[in-house]
Structure 1
Amino acid sequence: MNESSSSPTADHIVWDWNGTLLADNHAVVAAVNVVCSAFGAEHVDLYRWRSVFGRPLWRAYEKVLGREIAQRDWARIDRMYHEAYRELLHTCELAADAPEVLLGWWNAGRSQSLLSMFFHEELVPLVESFGLSSVFSRVDGLRDPAAGGSKAEHLVAHLGALGVDPSETVVVGDVADDASAAEWAGADCVLVSTGVMSREALEATGRPVVDSLGEAVERLAGARVL
């Protein structure tokens, strides 16, 4: 745990999905390797992908593919990646402590929602399949694939739709973009090291970095230890 950052407070948690609540690292790496094979590049492992992962995402691919990526190549890479990822989505499970943490927070009378950059029409039934819909006051995914990129504007819209004060909100995610979005919206943030970004990159944001969802909730002042 990164103890150098102060503990945030929260009346409301906005959870990220991929790499945070959903343990999908194996599917991510496998999908990236489908792209690597298509471009004649060496396969990567999770350590390697974490070492290059960042925004904009095409730069990470340039590092593992060893070449510049033209716009037509990026469209192909994006399509290829998501097709391969979807084929493995059925093998992905929730993070080990996700049900306990989510139910504990909800049953304590606190509010929480889900905001993901995964496609909305696929996210909603996936969340329902895990029996989690009832513990979120709102679930938002990416409704317009062309409007991807930073999570910041999506977070502002998400909190606005909820009528939640950003200053009383903590975002829990697994990448630096979650921290950037929280800062943009005026919310706080805790990052978990369970996803596809290196701990060093997470700690560079200056936000608290923990190793599990339970630890993330424990860092929220006033929260019950789950």
Structure 2
Amino acid sequence: MTSLTTAPGARHIVWDWNGTLLDDNAAVVSAVNKVCAAFGCEHIDLDRWRAVFGRPLRRAYEHVLGRVLDEHDWARIDVLYHEAYRELLHTCGLARGVPGALREWIGSGRTQSLLSMWFHEELLALVEDFGLNALFTRVDGLRAEIGGGSKAGHLTEHVTALGIDPAEIVLIGDVADDAYAAEQAGADCVLLTTGVMARPALEATGFPVVDSIAEALETIGAESAARGRDG
């Protein structure tokens, strides 16, 4: 993999949603604790969830709940979590710097899209509610009934639909699976510490790790911005 700081040239960003553009950590932890209560386990805090979070997501819940989960358990967790999370979605706001940073990226002559593992139709509604529709060339969410799997295949499909050379694409996300997905798709990646994964796990991917969207865009590099303006 190459570092964007030494090989800038991205003309398209694929943004992650939860924990990246949407500041939803409090809602996530509250929803996880709804699951914990249902399974008779102690509540956790954000640091604990960050310490165990990963994909497949079922393993993270197995760490927290202290048990192996079968299909029935997983289906129950899916319902409990999403019911609790949806109740708190109205309390979630956009991450610091959004939408200003997204407008600046477009203003430099480049493009961006959104790929989330949140359910597709609900994602479209959220993006519209926040007034972000015009900022993305494409928006894709999860089209399955139950989530928790890797983003890798979804990103490959997303990039194919965009029709852009993966070498000119950067995925900006908040979990190690984003890095894995980017590698599989042939794209680059920058990871944010603003979501649900601890910094050491993010740094272990080998991709740049930063603390804000502004830093992520700085990491991509001024040279790329100049190319966008000139092209």
Q: Same fold (TM over 0.5)?
A: yes
Aligned to 2:229: none
Q: What do residues 94-116 of structure 1 show as CA deviations (whole Å, max 9, x unaligned)?
A: 00112111011012211000000
Aligned to 2:169: 169
1:115-194 matches, within 5 Å, as 115-145=115-145, 149-194=149-194
Q: Do 1:166 and 1:187's aligned partners in 2 also have CA atoms closer than 8 Å?
A: yes
Q: For the residues of structure 1 that align with 2:33 and 2:217, how far apart are their CA atoms?
A: 34
Q: Do 2:78 and 2:146's aligned partners in 1 also have CA atoms closer than 8 Å?
A: no
State the aligned residue count.
222
1:202-221 matches, within 5 Å, as 202-221=202-221
SS of 1:117 mapped into structure 2 = strand
Please tell me whether residue 95 in structure 1 is matched to residue 78 in structure 2: no
Q: For the residues of structure 1 that align with 2:219 and 2:108, how far apart are their CA atoms?
A: 16
Aligned to 1:83: 83
Which structure 2 segments of 5+ residues have no match?
A: 227-231
Q: Which moves more between the two structures, 44-53 or 63-72?
A: 63-72
Instruction: Give the letter aligned to residue 33 of structure 1.
Output: N
Q: For the residues of structure 2 that align with 1:93 and 1:148, how far apart are their CA atoms?
A: 23
SS of 1:43 mapped into structure 2 = coil
Which structure 1 segments of 5+ residues have no match?
A: none
**Aligned-pair CA distance for 1:145:** 2.6
Post-superposition, which runs of at least 4 consecutive aligned residues in structure 1 deviate over 6 A? none
SS of 1:189 mapped into structure 2 = strand
Q: What do residues 149-197 of structure 1 show as CA deviations (whole Å, max 9, x unaligned)?
A: 2111111111111111101100000000100000000000000000000
Q: For the residues of structure 1 that align with 2:71 and 2:168, how far apart are their CA atoms?
A: 40
**Aligned-pair CA distance for 1:55:** 1.2
SS of 1:98 mapped into structure 2 = coil
The TM-score normalised by the length of structure 1 is 0.94
Q: For the residues of structure 1 that align with 2:4 and 2:96, how far apart are their CA atoms?
A: 26
Q: For the residues of structure 1 that align with 2:80 and 2:170, how far apart are their CA atoms?
A: 33
RMSD: 1.6
**Aligned-pair CA distance for 1:80:** 0.6
1:56-67 matches, within 5 Å, as 56-67=56-67
Q: What do residues 47-80 of structure 1 show as CA deviations (whole Å, max 9, x unaligned)?
A: 0000010111111111111111121101100111
Q: For the residues of structure 1 that align with 2:146 and 2:83, how far apart are their CA atoms?
A: 17
Q: Do 1:218 and 1:224's aligned partners in 2 also have CA atoms closer than 8 Å?
A: no
Q: Do 1:142 and 1:148's aligned partners in 2 also have CA atoms closer than 8 Å?
A: no
